[in-house]
Amino acid sequence: MAMSRAAAATGAVTRRRLGATAARSMASWFGHVEPAAKDPILGVTEAFLADPSPDKVNVGVGAYRDDNGKPVVLDCVREAERRITGNMNMEYLPMGGSIKMIEESLKLAYGEDSQFIKDKRIAAVQALSGTESRGLDFSGLMDDIKNAPDGSFFLLHACAHNPTGVDPSEEQWREISHQFKVKNHFPFFDMAYQGFASGDPERDAKAIRIFLEDGHQIGCAQSYAKNMGLYGQRAGCLSILCDDEMQAVAVKSQLQQIARPMYSNPPVHGALIVSTILGDPELKTLWLKEVKGMADRIIGMRKALKQNLEKLGSPMSWEHITNQIGMFCYSGMTPEQVDRLTNEFHIYMTRNGRISMAGVTTGNVAYLANAIHECHAVII
- Whether a cis peptide bond, with omega within 30° of 0, leads into 266 is no
The verdict on 222 and 244 lying in the same domain is yes
Residue 376 — φ and ψ, nearest 5°? Answer: 50, 50
CATH assignment at residue 143? 3.40.640.10
Structural domain contains residue 291: no
The total domain count for the chain is 2
Report the C-alpha gap between 250 and 240 in whole angstroms.
11
C-alpha pair distances (Å), 345 with each of 54, 61, 311: 11, 17, 19
Chosen domain end from 286, 304, 323: 286
Structural domain contains residue 2: no
The verdict on 261 and 355 lying in the same domain is no
Report the C-alpha gap between 270 and 102 in whole angstroms.
12
Q: Tell me the residue range of the domain where 351 lies.
A: 40-72+296-377
Structural domain contains residue 15: no
Coil, strand or helix at 361: coil
Indicate the length of the chain as a whole number: 380
Report the C-alpha gap between 222 and 189 in whole angstroms.
8
Q: Please report, as a single letter, which amino acid is at residue 307.
A: Q
Adjacency order of strands within the sheet including 236-241: 122-127, 236-241, 219-223, 186-191, 153-157
C-alpha pair distances (Å), 376 with each of 60, 165, 347: 19, 21, 15
Beta strands in 204-268 (DSSP E): 219-223, 236-241
pLDDT (tens place) for every residue of the chain, 380 residues total:
445 565 555 555 555 655 555 555 555 788 888 999 888 888 899 999 999 999 999 999 889 999 999 999 999 999 999 999 988 888 899 999 999 999 999 999 999 999 999 999 999 999 877 644 567 899 999 999 999 999 999 999 999 998 889 999 999 999 999 999 999 999 999 999 999 999 999 999 999 999 999 999 999 999 999 999 999 999 999 999 999 999 999 999 999 999 999 889 999 999 999 999 999 999 999 999 999 999 999 999 999 999 999 999 877 789 999 999 999 999 889 999 999 999 999 999 999 999 999 999 999 999 999 999 998 744 43
SS percent in the chain: helix, strand, coil, step 5: 50, 10, 40
Structural domain contains residue 27: no
- Do the Cβ atoms of 224 and 201 come closer than 8 Å? no
Q: Is the pTM of this model over 0.85?
A: yes
CATH assignment at residue 332? 3.90.1150.10
Report the C-alpha gap between 272 and 222 in whole angstroms.
16
